[in-house]
C-alpha cells in the first residue's frame, strides 16, 4: 500500500489535484441538467441552433396548457402505488428468505434473482395480449401490476441483504412473549428496516418513473398517459418542440427531488447495508 507523503507541499498538491478532478467530474455530470434547465426558459428553434436571448415561461405555460399536469398526476399515482405494493411484497418475501431455512430456498431465491437477468422487453407482446383479454388496456391498474412485478425481484434482493444484518434474537424474544410472525414483521422488523425500505422504494420508483415501452404498449388514452408518453408527443415527424421537451423534463425531475432528497441519508445507509451481504 502506498504511504502518504509527509511533505506538506506534496500533500497539498495531491489534495488540490483530487479537488480539481472531483470538480471536473461534477461539471461533467451537472452540465446536461443545467443545459436542460436553462433551455426550458428559452425559445429554442427546431435545430437547437438559433436561440433568443430573453428568458420566458412560455414553455411551461405551453405544456400545462396541453394538460401536462395530468401526466404528472398519472405517473405519481402509478409509480407510488407500484412502489408501495412492491415494498410490501418484498418485505414479507425477504423476511421468509432470510429467517427460514427450507428445502428449495436457494432455488426460490435464485429464480427471483434470475428475473433480473431476463430480458423482460420480449414480454411486451404476451403482456399486451393477456391484458387485452383481461380488459386492462388503457387501465392504470394494468400498468401498476406490470411495474410491481418488474421492480419486486431487486427490492427483495436489497431487503434480504439488509435483513441479514438484523439479529434473529429480536424475533425470538418477541415470539417468546407471544407475538405472531406478522406482528414481529410489522412492529419490530419494519421500524428497523426503514433505511432498507427507502433504498428499495427509491430504486423501484425511479425505475417505473422513467419506463416508456410498457406504457406505450398498454396506454393509448391521452388521459391515462404517464410522463414519458406525455413528453413523446412533442417529438413530431417533421419538427421537435425542444422548449416543451426541456420544460417537461424539468417538471418530471421535481417530484423525484421532493420525494427523495429528504430521505437521502436513509437511502445511503440502506444501500450500504444491503450491499454488504
Report the alpha-carbon distance of residue 135 to residue 256 in Å, rounded. 31
- List residues bridging with 44 in a β-sheet: 51
Evaluate if residue 1 carries a pLDDT over 50: no
Evaluate if residue 13 carries a pLDDT over 60: yes
Look at residue 139 in the predicted model and tell me its pLDDT.
87
Evaluate if residue 39 carries a pLDDT over 90: no
Residue in the block written with cell 418542440: 241
Average pLDDT of 259-274? 57
Average pLDDT of 171-184? 86
Q: Are the CB atoms for 173 and 189 separated by under 8 Å?
A: no
Evaluate if residue 276 carries a pLDDT over 60: no
**CA triple 2-8-13, angle to 5 deg:** 75
Within 8 A by CB and 6+ apart from 140, the residues are 74, 77, 78, 224
Share of the chain above pLDDT 70, in %: 86
Evaluate if residue 131 carries a pLDDT over 80: yes
Q: What is the mean pLDDT of the chain?
A: 81
Residue 130 corresponds to which cell in the numbers above?
A: 393477456
Look at residue 148 in the predicted model and tell me its pLDDT.
93
pLDDT tens digits along 179-224: 888 888 888 888 888 878 888 888 889 889 988 888 998 998 888 8
Residue 276 corresponds to which cell in the numbers above?
A: 454488504
* CA atoms 100, 104, 108, 110: torsion sign: positive
3-12, 51-60, 161-170, 196-205: lowest mean pLDDT where?
3-12
Helix (H, G, I), strand (E, B) or coil at 256: helix
Look at residue 85 in the predicted model and tell me its pLDDT.
94
Q: Are the CB atoms for 157 and 114 separated by under 8 Å?
A: no
Instruction: Say what angle helices 68-99 and 140-163 make with each other, to 10 degrees.
Output: 40
Average pLDDT of 113-139? 84
In order of start, what are the domains of the chain with their CATH numbers? 67-275 (1.10.3720.10)
Report the alpha-carbon distance of residue 125 to residue 71 in Å, rounded. 24
- List residues bridging with 240 in a β-sheet: 235
Report the alpha-carbon distance of residue 148 to residue 89 in Å, rounded. 9
Kindly give the residue spans of alpha helices, DSSP state H, lying in 100-241. Answer: 105-117, 124-134, 140-163, 169-176, 181-184, 190-192, 194-209, 213-218, 227-232
Helix (H, G, I), strand (E, B) or coil at 154: helix
Model pTM?
0.80
Look at residue 8 in the predicted model and tell me its pLDDT.
65
Look at residue 74 in the predicted model and tell me its pLDDT.
93
Q: Please give the residue that has the higher pLDDT: either 181 or 7.
A: 181
* Per-residue pLDDT band at 78 (split at 50, 70, 90): very high
**CA triple 111-208-257, angle to 5 deg:** 130
Of residues 225, 238, 257, the one with CA closest to residue 37 = 257
Share of the chain above pLDDT 90, in %: 14
Amino acid at each position: 500500500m502506498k504511504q502518504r507523503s509527509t511533505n506538506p507541499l506534496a500533500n497539498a498538491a495531491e489534495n488540490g489535484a483530487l479537488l480539481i478532478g472531483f470538480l471536473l467530474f461534477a461539471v461533467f455530470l451537472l452540465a446536461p441538467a443545467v443545459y436542460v434547465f436553462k433551455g426550458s426558459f428559452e425559445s429554442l428553434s427546431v435545430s437547437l441552433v438559433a436561440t433568443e436571448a430573453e428568458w420566458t415561461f412560455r414553455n411551461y405555460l405551453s405544456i400545462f396548457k396541453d394538460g401536462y399536469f395530468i401526466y404528472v398526476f398519472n405517473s405519481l399515482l402509478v409509480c407510488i402505488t407500484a412502489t408501495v405494493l412492491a415494498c410490501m411484497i418484498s418485505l414479507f418475501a425477504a423476511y421468509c428468505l432470510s429467517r427460514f431455512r427450507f428445502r428449495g430456498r436457494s432455488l426460490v431465491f435464485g429464480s427471483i434473482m434470475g428475473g433480473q437477468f431476463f430480458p423482460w422487453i420480449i414480454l411486451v407482446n404476451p403482456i399486451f395480449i393477456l391484458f387485452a383479454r383481461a380488459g386492462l388496456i388503457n387501465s392504470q391498474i394494468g400498468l401498476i401490476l406490470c411495474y410491481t412485478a418488474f421492480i419486486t425481484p431487486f427490492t427483495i434482493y436489497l431487503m434480504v441483504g439488509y435483513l441479514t444484518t438484523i439479529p434473529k434474537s429480536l424475533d425470538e424474544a418477541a415470539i417468546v412473549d407471544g407475538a405472531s410472525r406478522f406482528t414481529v414483521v410489522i412492529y419490530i422488523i419494519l421500524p428497523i428496516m426503514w433505511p432498507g425500505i427507502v433504498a428499495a422504494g427509491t430504486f423501484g420508483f425511479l425505475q417505473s418513473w422513467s419506463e416508456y415501452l410498457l406504457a406505450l404498449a398498454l396506454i393509448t388514452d391521452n388521459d391515462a398517459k404517464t410522463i414519458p408518453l406525455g413528453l413523446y408527443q412533442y417529438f413530431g415527424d417533421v419538427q421537435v418542440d425542444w422548449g416543451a421537451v426541456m420544460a417537461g423534463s424539468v417538471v418530471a425531475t421535481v417530484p423525484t427531488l421532493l420525494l427523495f432528497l429528504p430521505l437521502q441519508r436513509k437511502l445511503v445507509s440502506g444501500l450500504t447495508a444491503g450491499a454488504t451481504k
